[in-house]
Structure 1
Amino acid sequence: MVKSMTGFGRGCYEEENFSVTIEIKTVNHRYNETAIRLPHFLNPLEDKIRKTILASVSRGRIDVFVTARYTNQDAVNVTVDKALAAAYHNALREVGDAIGIPSPSISEQAEVLYLARCPEVITTKEGLFDCDAYWPKIKQAVDQAVEALVAMREAEGKNIGADFHKRLDLIEQNVLEIERRSPQVVAEYQARLNERLDALLADKKITADPDRVLQEVAIFADRVAITEEIVRLKSHIRQFRLIMDAAQPVGRKLDFLVQEFNREANTIASKANDFELAKIVVDVKAEIEKIREQVQNIE
Structure 2
Amino acid sequence: MLKSMTGYGSSTVETAQGQIAVEMKSVNHRFCDIQFRMSRSLNYLEDTLRRRIQEKVERGRVEVFISMEGGSRSTRDVNVDWELLHQFLDRADEMEQWNVFDSKLRLQDFLLHPEISVVEERSGLNETFEAGVEEAVAEAAAHLSDMRQKEGEALQRDLENRLSGLKQEVQNIYQKAPSVVEDYRARLYERMQEAFRETGYAPDEQRLLTEAAVFSDKADVQEEVTRLFSHCSQFSSILGEEGVKGRKLDFLVQEMNREANTIGSKAGSAEIGQIVVEMKSELEKMKEQVQNIE
TM-score bucket of the superposed structures, by smaller chain: 0.7 to 0.9
Q: 1:126 to 1:30 in 2, by over 3 A?
A: closer
- Report the CA distance between 1:135 and its aligned residue: 3.3
Write the mapping of 1:33-182 to structure 2, written as runs, cut at 5 A. Answer: 33-71=33-71, 128-182=123-177
Change (3 A) 1:196 1:146: same
TM-superposed deviation, 1:165 = 0.9
1:234 to 229, 235, 243: 229
* Structure 1: distance between partners of 2:161 and 2:123: 58
Residue 173 of structure 1 deviates from its aligned partner by 0.8
Measured in 1, the distance between the counterparts of 2:231 and 2:122 equals 62
Structure 1 counterpart of 2:280, one-letter code? K
Q: In structure 2, what is the equivalent of residue 287 of structure 1? A: 282
SS of equivalent to 2:34? strand
Residue pair 1:14, 1:20 contacting (<8 A) in 2 also? yes
Distance 1:252 1:197, change over 3 A: closer
Residues 190-269 of structure 1 correspond to what in structure 2 (within 5 A)? Answer: 190-196=185-191, 209-269=204-264
Q: Shift in Å at residue 127 of structure 1?
A: 8.4
2:246 maps to a residue whose letter is G
Q: How does 1:178-189 map to 2 (within 5 A)?
A: 178-189=173-184
Identity %: 41
Q: CA–CA distance in 2 between the matches of 1:128 and 1:162?
A: 48
Q: Are 2:23 and 1:23 aligned?
A: yes
SS of corresponding position for 1:3: coil
Looking at structure 1, the residues matched to 55 and 149 of structure 2 have their Cα atoms a distance apart, in angstroms, of 15
Aligned-pair distance for 1:197?
Answer: 5.3
The ranges of structure 1 where at least 4 consecutive aligned residues each deviate by more than 4 angstroms after the TM superposition are 125-128, 197-209
Corresponding residue of 1:14: 14
Amino acid at match of 2:159: F
Instruction: Give the CA deviation at 1:291.
Output: 0.5
Give the Cα separation in 2 of the matches to 1:226 and 1:157: 35
Secondary structure of the equivalent of 1:223?
helix
Q: 1:204 to 1:144 in 2, by over 3 A?
A: closer
Provide TM-score, normalisation by structure 2.
0.77
Show structure 2 runs of 5+ residues with no match.
78-111, 113-119
How far residue 195 of structure 1 moved from its aligned partner, in angstroms, is 4.0
Structure 1 vs Structure 2 CA RMSD = 2.9
8 Å CA contact 1:161, 1:244 repeated in 2: yes
- Secondary structure (helix, strand or coil) at the match of 1:249 reads coil
CA distance in 2, matches of 1:158, 1:144: 21
TM-score of the superposed pair, with normalisation by structure 1:
0.76
Quick check: 1:274 aligned with 2:283? no
Q: Is contact 1:186–1:217 with CA below 8 Å preserved after alignment?
A: no
- Matched position secondary structure for 2:180: helix
1:26–1:42 distance in 2 versus 1, CA, 3 Å? same
Cα gap change, 1:259 to 1:191, in 2 (>3 Å): same
Answer whether contact 2:15 2:129 (CA < 8 A) is retained. Answer: no
The residue aligned with 2:102 is none
